[in-house]
Chains A and B, each alone.
Chain A
């Protein structure tokens, strides 16, 4: 009997169907879970509940504050994340690991702890005062002292503190994927570092910037813990949609809570859809 292997033509690789079934089954189970959650919410509520929730002045206020605060927080995040992501991607320097670790803290910590830490930061006595008091005494808007804690700025700051970490990660990966060689050539052509960044690196990073802004906006929309601790959940003042769900639940208004939840889903899907559409159009 011969020990020689079979001729190549005799080999049959077999069907790929099991591969697609297993991969699709495992991956699809998560998609099915999300769809079931949304379907359950939709089945629980009715157009009447939805209309009633939207008619409430406090919910209308929460919608407005949510849109404004998420947008400000996302813009602040991309403003900070772009330079920080670039520096971490391009430069090796002593202590970089420490900065990496610090930036990851808001991602791994429970968001509630970020809120608590913000509260402590603004009220920690230093030299006979604290940051909150100092700001109220030295900064004003019109004739009103500038308040942060338990006011609208606290909502934005709580959202930004968490969302920015995700934006930084996105921008860092974006710049990691852009070959630094083009910037090096720009330097030989006569550019300063800043010109190489602005004229060569940044125009290549626009997709990442859209992604980072989207991530920051979506993350801000879903933020609840740090807002509750640092900004409070005062109706018609610091109430955003995530706190509305909590407030409606706490007074037994389950239908209103579900209606607002669905509103958040619609808001998130609308923003993500618009941003992706803009990105796809700009790419063609």
Chain B
């Protein structure tokens, strides 16, 4: 479960004041809003990468507002993926497990399981600089899921992909989520992505978050859909 209880965030001249949100455990929520409204800022506040100036962040009912990003149990896929350029695909899937001191005997099976689930087993030895957009996306997702986080946050993860790859990854995301029952918050401008994945629709408008019925997707204003094909 993800709960934002009256949080305020300030970064230079940008400010979000007293924002609240509640996403039940196991839900797939899609967050939409016009560019520059603060969607990424909200994800970063949940991750712990951005300090909140007021309010509380609760994950699974636990107040994590003062916890470091490492101690929140959040898997994060940023917009630009931010893969580690000097590592192989296997290195990415192992990274969090090694940092979290998983037993060596458990790391190999977990990497194999993830690679099979994401369809990247043949790529394990490959340098991430030699991956296609869709492959890189799967690796970023695998890295975020590797340590079995309680929450998955994704910031426009399917941007800059061709339509066919985007559809395949949408299907994969849906499969992964229904298998893991992971509470997921997915930021997007794409109506097609939201239609395919969301069981909850959150809209950021005028500095506040509102939950709307998923059926309202078709009525969303154009500025929330900018930058992606309005399908």
Q: Quick check: is A200 within 8 A (CB to CB) of the other chain? A: yes
Instruction: Report, as a range, how many residues of chain A touch the other chain.
Output: 10 to 19
**Contact in complex: B68, A187 (CB < 8 Å):** yes
How many pairs, one residue from A and one from B, have CB atoms within 8 Å of each other in the complex? Answer: 61
**Contact in complex: A191, B70 (CB < 8 Å):** yes
CB distance from A209 to the nearest CB of B (A): 13
**Chain B interface, number of residues (Cβ within 8 angstroms):** 25
Residue picked from B76, B83, B84, most chain A C-beta under 10 Å:
B84
- Mask, A151-184, CB within 8 Å of B = 1, is 0000000000000000000000000000101101
**Contact in complex: B70, A182 (CB < 8 Å):** no
- Measured between beta carbons, the chain B residues less than 8 angstroms from A200 are 84
CB contacts under 8 Å to A, within B96-113, are 96, 99-100
**Contact in complex: B80, A188 (CB < 8 Å):** no
- Mask, A136-164, CB within 8 Å of B = 1, is 00000000000000000000000000000
- Mask, B32-60, CB within 8 Å of A = 1, is 00000000000000011100000000000
Secondary structure at the A interface, as helix, strand, loop or mixed, is helix
A189 CA to B142 CA in the complex, in Å? 12
**Contact in complex: A190, B80 (CB < 8 Å):** no
**Contact in complex: B78, A185 (CB < 8 Å):** yes
**Cβ-neighbour of B100 out of A182, A185, A190 (below 8 A):** A190
**Contact in complex: A189, B82 (CB < 8 Å):** no
CB distance from B129 to the nearest CB of A (A): 11
- Measured between beta carbons, the chain A residues less than 8 angstroms from B82 are 179, 181-182, 184-185
CB distance from B80 to the nearest CB of A (A): 6
**Contact in complex: A188, B49 (CB < 8 Å):** yes
| CB closest chain-B residue, reference A185 | B82
- Measured between beta carbons, the chain A residues less than 8 angstroms from B28 are none
- Measured between beta carbons, the chain B residues less than 8 angstroms from A195 are 99
Residue picked from A185, A191, A200, most chain B C-beta under 10 Å:
A185
**Contact in complex: B47, A182 (CB < 8 Å):** no
- Measured between beta carbons, the chain B residues less than 8 angstroms from A188 are 47-49, 69-70, 72, 74-76, 144
CB distance from A45 to the nearest CB of B (A): 46
- Measured between beta carbons, the chain B residues less than 8 angstroms from A204 are 84-86
A203 CA to B129 CA in the complex, in Å? 14
